[in-house]
Amino acid sequence: MEIERKWMVSGWPEGLPLTEEFTMRQGYISVRPTVRIREEAKTGGETAWILCFKSEGGLAREEIERPIDAGLFRDLEEKIIARPLIEKVRRSYRLPDGFTLEVNHVDAGQPGAFWYAEIEYPTVEAARSWVPADPALAAYLAREVTGQPGQSMGAYWERTRK
């Protein structure tokens, strides 16, 4: 089960410790339900290839992820009609309360480029009750879009890859 909140943001946050960074490419085999492939290259680390299923939902939804090998990723990538794959840079930041803020820059340099942030939670109650303690972080996360139609990466895929 994935329980997360999502915000539209501008740029990388300031004053938070960076814990890791990935460059990613992802594409969609299906959007309803979401079936996605992703290549994740950790800065200074290894590359992983992942097949992911996500159910419909907003704050909480089923998510199944399985590692796949590079060959299967390439085979599936070739079957995806819409191109190019979405490119993302994701940076993770440790928050003072122990949660991790993941900030993504999507399709940098492209006309539809944008930024979004997510926090995953252990329970729905924790997600609903969480508020940023720092005023600067609260201002950074002022535009929440959790569960709003059209705000998923699958919806972005449909709008930009025809």
Phi, psi of 89 (to 5 degrees): -120, 125
Q: Which DSSP symbol is given to 78?
A: H
CA proximity to 24, closest of 117, 78, 104: 104
Name residue 75's amino acid.
D
Sorted by where each starts, the structural domains of the chain and their CATH numbers stand as 2-160 (2.40.320.10)
Contact, 49 vs 60, CB < 8 A?
no
**Mean pLDDT in the chain?**
96
Mean pLDDT in residue range 73-99: 95
Helix (H) or strand (E) holding 24: strand 18-30
Here the tokens at position 73 are 């990723």
CA proximity to 92, closest of 142, 33, 45, 50: 45
Quote the pTM value: 0.94
Strand pairing class (18-30; 143-144): unpaired
pLDDT given for residue 58 in this prediction: 85
pLDDT given for residue 115 in this prediction: 98
pLDDT band at 79 (very low <50, low <70, confident <90, very high): very high
List pLDDT tens digits, range 23-56. 999 999 999 899 999 999 999 999 999 999 999 8
CA proximity to 15, closest of 130, 135, 144: 135
Q: Which DSSP symbol is given to 149?
A: T
Contact, 69 vs 136, CB < 8 A?
no
List pLDDT tens digits, range 90-115. 999 999 999 999 999 999 999 889 99
Distance, in Å, from the CA atom of 157 to the CA atom of 119, rounded to the nearest integer, reads 21
Residue 162 pLDDT > 80: no
pLDDT given for residue 155 in this prediction: 92
Contact, 161 vs 82, CB < 8 A?
yes
By percentage, how much of the chain surpasses pLDDT 90? 91
Q: Is 51 helix (H, G, I), strand (E, B) or coil?
A: strand
pLDDT band at 57 (very low <50, low <70, confident <90, very high): confident
